[in-house]
Structure 1
Amino acid sequence: MATTPRQTNLDGLSALVTGGSRGLGLLLSARLARRGCRVTMAARDADELRRGAEWVEERTGATVSTAVCDVRDRDAVDAMVQQADSRQGGLDVVIANAGVIQVAPVASIDSGAFEDAMATIFGGTVNTAMAALPRLYRSDSGGRLCLIGSVGGLLTVPHLLPYSCAKAAVGALGEGLRAETADKNVSVTTVHPGLMRTGSHLQAEFGDRTSKEFAWFSALAGAPVVSMDAERAAERILRALERRRTRLVLTPAARAASIAHGVAPATVTRLSGLAARVLPDAPGGEGAEGTAERGTVQGHHIDRPAHTLTEKVRGWGSVLNDRAARRYNQRTPGPPTGG
C-alpha cells in the first residue's frame, strides 16, 4: 500500500542536485535554498562548484553543501549520495540534471560521441536514480526524484543526435521508474525542457563547421519567444515536484512539437529533414574546419570573427543567452555538468 506523503511543498527538505554548479542546476539549487531546503550541489569541476555554491549563498543567504562527483562513475555516485544522506539527515529530493551537449552533423562524428552522451546523460541519470531511490523511500515527507530530460528526447533534433538518443533514454527511464514505484513512498517526475536561456551554448561541444554550428545553436537557444527564461523554468520544475507530476514539458514550442510528433511522427520527421538541409553540412576532406579529425570544440573556445554574417546572425539571436551565461556561472571553461 502506498504511503501518503505528509508534506506537499518542498520547504525545509533535504535536496541533492547533480549538475548543480551552473545553468539550470545552479538555479534549481538556489530556488531550493530559498525554500529553506538543505541543499547539496554536485558537479565534477571543483572550482566551478565552489563558485556556484558562492553564487547561491550570496543570493539566498543560505549555506549549501557541495560534492565533487563524476556521475559516470557509479561508485563515486554511490559515495556522493551516501554522503549527502548522512550530512543532511536523510534525502527527500534528488534532481538528476548532469549532462553534455554535442552539436554536429552525424557525418562528422563517430560512435564515441554517442557513447559519451549515453555515459554522461543516461548513465549518470541511472547511477543517480538507483543510488537515491532506497534513501528516498525512507523520506518522512515522501521522496521526490526528478529526471531532467529534453524535448530533444521526445523528437530527434538534427545535429543533436547523440544528445537526443541519450535524452530519449532518460525519458523512458522516468516513465518506467514512475510505474514501478507507484506503490512506494516516492514520486518520479520527468522534465522535458525546450530551449532555455541558461548560457549552455558556451559549455556545449561543437564539431565540424564549429563557428556556424555555434551560431545557429546559440541564436536559437537565446531567441525570445522560442526560448524560455531559465529562472522561470526552474520555478516551474520545482512546482511540478511539489505537485508530484509525472511529466512536465516546458515551453509552448516544445509542447506543440511533442504533440505534433505523437500525432504525425512521419510528417515531423520529414520536416526535421528539411530543417537539417539549412543547417551547416559536413564538408568532409582533411583540413576542413572542425572536421571529425579535429574532434569537438567547446563554445568558449570557438573563434567568432566580428563583422561576419554568421556572427551577426548569432549576435542577433543570442544576446539574452550571452547575458544568461554571465549570470549563471557559465563563463569559465570547464567540463560539462548540466544544462
Structure 2
Amino acid sequence: MAAMDRSAPDGLSALVTGGSRGLGLLMAARLVRRGYRVTVLARDADELDRAVAWILDRTGRSARPMVCDVRDEAAVTAALRQAAQQTDGLDLVIANAGVIQVGPAETAGTQAFRDAMETIFDGTLHTALAALPYLRRSAAGGRLGLVGSVGGLLAVPHLVPYSCAKAAVRALGEGLQEETAGSAVSVTTVHPGLMRTGSHLQAEFGGRSEAEFAWFSALAGMPLLSMDAERAAVKIVRAVERRRTRLVLTPAARTASLAHAVVPSLVTRANGLAARVLPAPPLDGTAGQPPQRAPFRQGHALDASAGPAWVRTLRRASSALNDRAAHRYNQRWAGPPTTS
C-alpha cells in the first residue's frame, strides 16, 4: 500500500472524468494519494467498481464512483452538482474522457468525426462549463485541467477524427485560460504524446482494422516513443496543481510540436511520407468510387499478428510493456497480461 503524500492540503476535492481506466485512473489515484477527496466519472458501472477497488488497493483510500456519460450535458451538470454536494465543493477538475479511432479518414466517414467530437470535445466542454462555477467558489482557488493531445497540435495520419476533436480541446483550453485570467481559477491544457496505458485494447479501428491495430499497438508501446503512464499522471497532476497553462509530454511530442510551429509545411510533408507506409484504405474495385467503409472494431477483438514484417518486429519489441499496462490499468481485467 502506498503512503499518502502529505504535502497536499487535506480536505480539497477533485473530480476526474474518464477515470475508470488508463490515464484517468492513474490521475485519480494520484489525487487520492495526494489527499484529495476524489470523484471518478465514467460510463461503465462495472468498470468504475473495478477502478475504485484498484484505487483503494493502491492508496489505502477510496474514491467516489459516479456513472455519467459526458456526451450528455444535463447528466454532466447533475453529476458535478452531486459531487460538489457530497464533497463540499470542487477544487480541482480534470476533463479526461475520450475515444481513439484509428484508420483512414475516408473509411471512417462523417459519423466517426461526430463520435470523436461528441466524446472528446463535447465531453470536455460540458465538464469545463459545469465545473467553472464551483471552481470559482473554491477557497483554495479552483484548478481546471483539460487533457488534449499532441494530435491536437498537429494532425496525425489515420487519427484525423481524434486530431480534429483534440484541436478543439486545445482552443477551448486556451480560450478559457484567457477568459479566467485575473481570477482565482486556473486552466491547464495537457498535450500528451504516446503513453503506455494499454489504450490500444479499447481504441477503435477502421479500414483494414487488424493491420491498423498492429501498427498502432506497436508504436504505442515503444519505449523511446511512448511514456510510462504512471509518470505521466504524476506530471499532469503536478502541472494542474501548479497552475501551468500548458504541458506537452514526451520528448517526441515536444519535438513534433515545436517543428510544426516553426515549419508546419515540412511536418505535414513528413507525415504524408509516414502515411504511405500505413495500411491503405480497402477499395471496392470500382474506379472512382470511395473506399469501403466497415464498422470500427475495438482492439481487444483484433489479431495483433497482422501487418508487414516491420510492424511485427516493432510489436515484439513493445508488446510486453503495453500489454502489461493494459492489464494493470483496468483496460483488460480478466486473464494474465499478454507478453508476446
The equivalent of 1:337 in structure 2 is none
1:32-77 per-position Cα deviation (integer Å, ceiling 9, x unaligned): 0011110000000110011011100111010210110000000000
User: Aligned with 2:276: secondary structure?
Assistant: helix
**What is the alpha-carbon distance in structure 2 between the residues aligned to residue 18 and residue 214 of structure 1?**
26
**What is the alpha-carbon distance in structure 1 between the residues aligned to residue 111 and residue 306 of structure 2?**
33
Pair 1:212-2:211 in alignment? yes
1:1-339 maps to which residues of 2 (within 5 A)? Answer: 9=8, 11-285=10-284, 292-305=292-305, 309=309, 311-332=312-333
Deviates more, 1:210-219 or 1:68-77: 210-219
Per the TM alignment, residue 243 of structure 1 is displaced from its structure 2 partner at its CA by 1.3
**What is the alpha-carbon distance in structure 1 between the residues aligned to residue 245 and residue 62 of structure 2?**
30
Q: TM-score, normalised by structure 1?
A: 0.91
User: Aligned with 2:15: secondary structure?
Assistant: strand
Q: Which runs of 5+ in 2 are unaligned?
A: 1-6, 286-290, 335-340
Per the TM alignment, residue 211 of structure 1 is displaced from its structure 2 partner at its CA by 1.3
Deviates more, 1:147-156 or 1:58-67: 58-67
**What is the alpha-carbon distance in structure 1 between the residues aligned to residue 51 and residue 293 of structure 2?**
34
**What is the alpha-carbon distance in structure 2 between the residues aligned to residue 67 and residue 262 of structure 1?**
39
Per the TM alignment, residue 313 of structure 1 is displaced from its structure 2 partner at its CA by 3.9
CA contact (8 A) 1:221 1:318 kept: no
User: Aligned with 1:110: secondary structure?
Assistant: helix
Over the residues paired in the alignment, what is the CA RMSD in angstroms? Answer: 1.8
**What is the alpha-carbon distance in structure 2 between the residues aligned to residue 48 and residue 312 of structure 1?**
33
The equivalent of 1:4 in structure 2 is none
Number of aligned residue pairs: give it. 322
Per the TM alignment, residue 200 of structure 1 is displaced from its structure 2 partner at its CA by 0.2
Per the TM alignment, residue 11 of structure 1 is displaced from its structure 2 partner at its CA by 4.8
Per the TM alignment, residue 285 of structure 1 is displaced from its structure 2 partner at its CA by 1.9
User: 1:115 corresponds to which letter in structure 2?
Assistant: R
CA contact (8 A) 1:218 1:314 kept: yes
**What is the alpha-carbon distance in structure 1 between the residues aligned to residue 216 and residue 318 of structure 2?**
10
CA contact (8 A) 1:21 1:43 kept: yes
CA contact (8 A) 1:207 1:292 kept: no
Per the TM alignment, residue 314 of structure 1 is displaced from its structure 2 partner at its CA by 2.2
Give the direction of change, closer, same or farther, for the CA distance of 1:192–1:308 in structure 2 (3 Å limit).
closer
**What is the alpha-carbon distance in structure 1 between the residues aligned to residue 29 and residue 275 of structure 2?**
37
Deviates more, 1:138-147 or 1:291-300: 291-300
The equivalent of 2:3 in structure 1 is none
Per the TM alignment, residue 212 of structure 1 is displaced from its structure 2 partner at its CA by 1.0
The equivalent of 1:336 in structure 2 is none
Per the TM alignment, residue 106 of structure 1 is displaced from its structure 2 partner at its CA by 1.4
**What is the alpha-carbon distance in structure 1 between the residues aligned to residue 314 and residue 255 of structure 2?**
26
CA contact (8 A) 1:10 1:242 kept: no
User: 2:111 corresponds to which letter in structure 1?
Assistant: G
> What percent of counterpart residues are identical?
66
**What is the alpha-carbon distance in structure 2 between the residues aligned to residue 262 and residue 213 of structure 1?**
28
User: Aligned with 1:134: secondary structure?
Assistant: helix
**What is the alpha-carbon distance in structure 2 between the residues aligned to residue 78 and residue 39 of structure 1?**
17
User: Aligned with 1:232: secondary structure?
Assistant: helix
CA contact (8 A) 1:18 1:42 kept: yes
1:121-170 per-position Cα deviation (integer Å, ceiling 9, x unaligned): 00000000000000000000000000000000000000000000000000
CA contact (8 A) 2:8 2:35 kept: no
**What is the alpha-carbon distance in structure 1 between the residues aligned to residue 304 and residue 250 of structure 2?**
29
CA contact (8 A) 1:215 1:313 kept: no
User: 1:154 corresponds to which letter in structure 2?
Assistant: L
User: 2:332 corresponds to which letter in structure 1?
Assistant: R
CA contact (8 A) 2:222 2:314 kept: no
**What is the alpha-carbon distance in structure 1 between the residues aligned to residue 73 and residue 307 of structure 2?**
47
Give the direction of change, closer, same or farther, for the CA distance of 1:292–1:101 in structure 2 (3 Å limit).
farther
CA contact (8 A) 1:95 1:147 kept: yes
1:173-218 per-position Cα deviation (integer Å, ceiling 9, x unaligned): 0000000001222100000000000000000000111111111111
The equivalent of 2:337 in structure 1 is none
User: Aligned with 2:124: secondary structure?
Assistant: helix
Q: TM-score, normalised by structure 2?
A: 0.91
The equivalent of 1:5 in structure 2 is none
Per the TM alignment, residue 307 of structure 1 is displaced from its structure 2 partner at its CA by 11
CA contact (8 A) 1:188 1:246 kept: yes
**What is the alpha-carbon distance in structure 2 between the residues aligned to residue 332 and residue 173 of structure 1?**
34
User: 2:12 corresponds to which letter in structure 1?
Assistant: L
